[in-house]
Amino acid sequence: MTVVSNTSPLNYLVLIELQQLLPTLFSRVLVPEAVLRELRSPAAPAQIGAWLDTTPHWLESRVAADIPTELRQLGPGEREAIVLAESVDDGLVLLDERRARGVARQRGLAVTGTLGVLDLAAARGLVDLADAFDRLSRTNFRGSPRLLRSLLNKRP
């Protein structure tokens, strides 16, 4: 399965040193150019810049097609990720922002985010979910405590 990532999921997976989950879980990992620009922002954590200096071979950058007017309310990375995901057969788009997730679903896309990637990885025995969530708690990630508990409680 191909996955198209927005900025936030890549950012947090790199910060918690679990970015390798993406090529392990998915056959292709695509990002639009806007996501790379956002990750290269001077405001991004230094760890992100260092990771991008040695961009992994599995991360494929693509130019998104024309952006429909109805997506202009979203950020550049979000709208380009949605458009790019629409061009991929049987793809999944990674978005953490609630509004962007809703728009993507309305457009018929399969959507998950950072927590969904971690949950999938835990289901396949690739990570300890409690440890991953602990690492995530040391970043500025904002996730619903109820959702985090729910994901943890479904694990044996």
What is the rounded CA–CA span in Å between residue 143 and residue 148? Answer: 7
In the predicted structure, residue 55 carries a pLDDT above the cut 90: no
Distance, in Å, from the CA atom of 98 to the CA atom of 85, rounded to the nearest integer, reads 17
Token digits of residue 49 = 């810049």
Q: Which of 22, 6, 83 is nearest to 57 (CA)?
A: 22
Cα–Cα distance, 153 to 155 (Å, whole number)? 5
The whole-number pLDDT of residue 92 equals 94
| pLDDT score, position 121 | 97
Q: In angstroms, what CA-CA distances link 108 with 35, 52, 98, 102, 104?
A: 21, 31, 16, 10, 7
pLDDT-based confidence at 67, cuts 50/70/90? confident
Q: Which residue segments constitute the domains of the chain, with CATH numbers given?
A: 2-153 (3.40.50.1010)
Q: What is the pLDDT of residue 66?
A: 84
pLDDT value of residue 89: 83
For residue range 128-149, list pLDDT tens digits in order: 999 999 999 999 999 888 999 9
Residue 105 is predicted with a pLDDT of: 96
Task: Report the pLDDT value the prediction gives residue 90, as an integer from 0 to 100.
Answer: 78
Band the pLDDT of 108: cuts 50, 70, 90. Answer: very high
Which residue is associated with the tokens 């440890």? 131
User: In the 8-state DSSP scheme, what is residue 46?
Assistant: H
Which DSSP state fits 66?
P
3-class secondary structure per residue, 38-80: HHCCCCCCHHHHHHHHCCCCCEEEECCCCCCHHHCCCCHHHHH
Q: For residue 48, how far is the Cα from the chain centroid?
A: 14
Token reading at 51: 């990771």
pLDDT of amino acid 91: 80
Residue 141 one-letter amino acid: F
The per-residue pLDDT for 117 is 98
The 10s digit of each residue's pLDDT in 6-49 is: 999 999 999 999 999 999 999 999 999 999 999 999 999 999 99
